[in-house]
Structure 1
Amino acid sequence: MKHKSKFILAALISLLGFTASLVDLSEVDVQLPAFFDEWTSQEQISAEEIENLPDYDGQNVVIQVNGNRPSFTAEEASIDAGSWQTFSDLDSLNRVGVANAMLHRSMMPTEERGDISNVYPTGWNQKKLENNVWLYNRSHLIGFQMTGENDNWKNLFTGTQQLNQIHMVQFENEVANYLRKTNNHVRYRVTPIFRERELLPRAIQMEAQSIENNDVQFNILIHNVQNGVTIDYQTGKATNP
């Protein structure tokens, strides 16, 4: 089984490389299999440390926050108001803020995602990498597959391909698959982490808690980085070393 997984992984990477030469991956959501979970680090950070988030250490892209336990209060986890979602207003620099939701499968879209190329989130200094794919994605705080939110400026931030298509999608798929299989709710929160007046978020924090049971529960931080690329978070400009 181990050799089979390695073969599947190699085939998938090859397929992604071929696809990248045909389409603009900045507009594509890639669905990755469950065994990509092994890429998630067991490194830990506290909620208090996020306010003074240290620089990326070059190894641990995904870090568990508070032992992977979400920090919703009883009031925040109440389903008295049914399903809903809210987005923060853009700040004085036009940066996105925290997005909250009480998710349910009734909110999931029945149509394919539309064009979002008219949205230019802060730090959008697109760059084509050496492997002929784009560095940045217009990344959803609350994924389209959850609620059908499309070209909402309050819901889109500049995220690296590595953040959006490799790591963030793992946790989004976990939530979406649970919603499709049950009639239950998931409390969900995604928080972009900016440092001072920088235009590109250093990381995002994702929290989820299934309400009727504990089948879905995580609190993780994903660094907004790309292997082999040096990023200026003040502007979003990037260079290859």
Structure 2
Amino acid sequence: MSTKNKRKKSSPIQYIIGLVVCIILVVAGVKSPDALLDFLPFDNKESSPKTSDTIKKDNPGPIEHGKSRFTANELRDSSKGWVEYGRLDKLGRPTTANALIKPNMINTGTSANQSIRPPGFISGLEPHNHSRGHLIGRQLGGTGDKLENLVTLYQNPVNTPFMTKYENLVRKAADEGETIRYRVEPVYNGNEDMPIAVDIEGKGLSKQSTIDFYVTIENKQ
């Protein structure tokens, strides 16, 4: 057999040198797997998968459906803002929350009461990453002292930054003097305790308002 066709085996010293080079590159900030592989004494480098092929996001982010679905009757203004929470269902799960948000309601809500454990809640620590998620956010006047307004959400990225993004839009409009009709509904799969998603709708009542959205945020890590 010709020696040209034999694969040259790497010595232990070559492996150690390659490992040291990799550590140096990582410390120096080189993050490309291909760049690290170039310094390894392996013959078959293609067998190592690329990062872009193996790491995928489970949560696609907010799914935008277009404009809100409020009826004309639901958009009637009133002299005062209000927040209403739907009844718990037969499994003790929150069902819906509606609000008419006015400027004087901003930051009048309360933080989630730590003694309340929404259905499905285990812990905010890893690996659970759970939060007592407000349907009507605290900054929009939602209470954290009623189970009817708290569901178990993944803190990241569902509660923040995804839900926070739309709450901030509504808050900004209210800070500028607008009145906004707002609704949040958890979506459940059968008898599961945690919602699989939340639907959020908002619409400003002034003709100049830019607030008019209907989005679904999947409750995934």
TM over 0.5: yes
The 1:85/1:123 distance shift into structure 2, 3 A limit, reads same
Is 1:175 the counterpart of 2:173? The answer is no
Of residues 193, 199, 206, the one that matches 1:212 is 206
Give the deviation of 1:115 after TM superposition: 5.7
Cα–Cα, structure 1 residues 114 and 58, in superposed 2: closer, same or farther, change >3 Å?
Answer: closer
2:186 aligned with 1:192? yes
Shift of 1:148: 4.7
Per the alignment, residue 69 of structure 2 pairs with: 71
Q: CA separation in 1, counterparts of 2:199 and 2:97?
A: 11
Q: Show structure 1 runs of 5+ residues with no match.
A: 1-56, 227-241
Q: Is the 8 A contact 2:100 2:181 kept in 1?
A: yes
Question: Structure 1 pair 143/92, CA: closer, same or farther in 2 (3 Å)?
Answer: same
C-alpha distance 136-208 of structure 1, shift in aligned 2 (>3 A): same
The equivalent of 2:126 in structure 1 is 129
Higher Cα Rg, which structure: 2
Structure 2: which amino acid aligns with 1:172?
E
Q: Secondary structure at the match of 1:215?
A: coil
Q: Residue 125 of structure 1 aligns to which amino acid in structure 2?
A: I
* Shift of residue 171, structure 1, vs aligned partner: 0.5
Residues 5-20 of structure 1 mapped to structure 2, 5 A cutoff: none
Separation in 1, partners of 2:159, 2:92: 21
**Is there any run of 5+ residues in structure 2 with no aligned partner, and where?**
1-56
AA paired with 1:70? S
Q: Indicate conservation of the 8 Å contact 1:61/1:225, yes or no.
A: no
Q: How has the CA–CA distance of structure 1 residues 181 and 94 changed in structure 2, closer, same or farther, with 3 Å as cutoff? A: same
Match of 1:101 among 77, 99, 102: 99
**Equivalent AA in structure 1 for residue 106 of structure 2:** M
The residue number in structure 2 matching 1:222 is 217
Structure 1 runs (4+) deviating above 6 angstroms are none
The match for 2:136 is 142
Distance (Å, rounded) in 1 between the aligned partners of 2:114 and 2:137:
16
User: Which residue in 2 is equivalent to 1:35?
Assistant: none
Matched, 1:118 2:118: no
1:36 paired residue number:
none
1:212–1:202 CA distance, 2 compared to 1 (3 A): same
Residues 136 and 160, structure 1, Cα contact 8 Å, conserved in 2: yes
- Cα 1:69–1:114, aligned 2, differ >3 Å: closer, same or farther? closer
Q: Deviations over 1:114-153 (max 9, x none)?
A: 56101100011226326xxx60111000001111522211
Q: Is the 8 A contact 2:189 2:196 kept in 1?
A: yes
Alignment partner of 1:171: what SS? helix
TM (norm. structure 1) is 0.63
| 115 and 204 in structure 1: CA distance in 2 versus 1, 3 angstrom threshold | closer
Cα 1:150–1:115, aligned 2, differ >3 Å: closer, same or farther?
Answer: closer
Q: How far has the Cα of 1:64 moved from its partner? A: 1.2
Deviation at 1:166, TM superposition (A): 1.5
Q: Deviation of residue 59 (structure 1)?
A: 5.2
TM-score norm. by structure 2 comes to 0.68
Q: In 2, Cα distance between the equivalents of 1:138 and 1:115?
A: 6
Report % sequence identity.
Answer: 29
- For 1:137 and 1:104, locate their aligned partners in 2 and report how far apart those are by CA, in whole Å: 26
**1:166 alignment partner, SS class:** helix
